[in-house]
Amino acid sequence: MKMDVLLGLQWGDEGKGKIVDVLAPQYEVVARFQGGPNAGHTLEFDGIKHVLHQIPSGIFRSQILNIIGNGVVLDPIILKKEIEGLGKFSIDYRKNLVVSKKATIIIPTHKLLDAAYEQSKGDKKIGSTLKGIGPTYQDKIGRSALRIGDILSPEFREKYDALLEKHKTTLSFYNFPTDQLDEMEKQFFEAVDFIKTLNLIDSEYVVNEALASNKRILAEGAQGSLLDVDFGSYPFVTSSNTMTAGACTGLGVAPSRIGEVFGIFKAYCTRVGSGPFPTELFDQTGEAMRKEGNEYGSTTGRPRRCGWLDLPALKYSIMINGVTQLFMMKADVLNIFEEILVCTHYELPNGEKIDKLTFEITDMDVKPVYRTMKGWNCSLAEVRSYNDFPTELKEYVSYLESELNVPIKLVSVGPDRVQTIMK
């Protein structure tokens, strides 16, 4: 058996949570492999809307084991609140949620450092969610971080204090206030005691033993491929590898054990935070797109930047991830437009046209080159079959398939489970 991977192909917010929830019945294990509470996966079913930040999106299916893998940076306070929020769903989290002992812990001063670093950048902020993600990954790479397994050690408090002092020195350099630290620490240690009651495991063994037992596993990515720390629009990226390769290191699975790679993209583009966005719309069209799509961050609440679909960026993500199937989300947001634009190339300042994301493009003011297509300009709310799609939407899907050379197997036309149309 091989592990399938599901990830976003744009700048995040593509709708990964919904698709994991839809696909989940086909799997026995769903595992998160990177990121932290900066992710917000929104699920909507039975008239209920719920946002998950660190818990895998298979948690609402009682037969599925949900794994928080070693590549995740975990905030105990937020995880405790998340689990408490699941109480109304009668979920037996002690049975179907497990946490890797090798997952890295976000401690209170990581959040303060995040704010201090962002403040110091002035008008060159990267748009951090201020959840402590970057500083935690810094400590992980610098080999000074704490991991979930450490909370079981009698020396945990000593290890914590050593890291705390290191952080305080840095915060004093930035002259950043720590007034709220006492209250943050109180919540943190209460949450740590709660985390001790969870099922803490050596997840790499559990994942590989599941594969050896022919169990189906779905690795759930967070953020989007264009925010990958190596291949995204650096430095306006997250601090982890958000692509398929990150599923290997974030769960301890060999590359040869990767099966299907499901790539999710919106029928248009959005981005939260700073960084290049060639097709961004600053006019009434962009505002209409934002309003129609309710484009506000599920983690931060920030309004998302909106623009037309970017084919060079999408082709790039498909290439680096080895995508085998495409899922197009939020097609219904384009219902309101009589014409739909698709970016096919970038025009550089010297007039040259390219269709690649080169190293230099992050710092260039490129102009998108568009193809115009006819919109369907009607509601898709009651559509339940691909055959019932308006002709213009079918033409849009066919055009994208011909350009991307990967089949679009699913089109989402609304937030509910039932508005997920298989092709």
Active site members: 13, 41
Tokens of 39: 């992710």
The DSSP bridge pattern shows strands 29-32 and 65-68 to be parallel
d(CA 56, CA 69): 10
Q: How many CA atoms lie within 13 A of 83 on its CB side?
A: 19
| Cβ neighbourhood burial of 47 (10 Å; 0-12, 13-18, 19+) | exposed
Helix (H) or strand (E) holding 48: strand 48-52
Identify residue 272 by its one-letter amino acid code: V
DSSP 107: P
Closest residue by Cα to residue 196 from 76, 33, 58, 82: 76
Chain-centre distance of CA 279, in angstroms?
Answer: 21
Contact yes or no for 268/304 (Cβ under 8 A): no
Contact yes or no for 103/109 (Cβ under 8 A): no
Contact yes or no for 198/97 (Cβ under 8 A): yes
Contact yes or no for 221/16 (Cβ under 8 A): yes
d(CA 109, CA 262): 36
Q: How many CA atoms lie within 13 A of 109 on its CB side?
A: 19
- Coil, strand or helix: which one is 387? helix
Percentages of the chain per state (helix, strand, coil), in multiples of 5? 40, 25, 35
d(CA 16, CA 266): 10
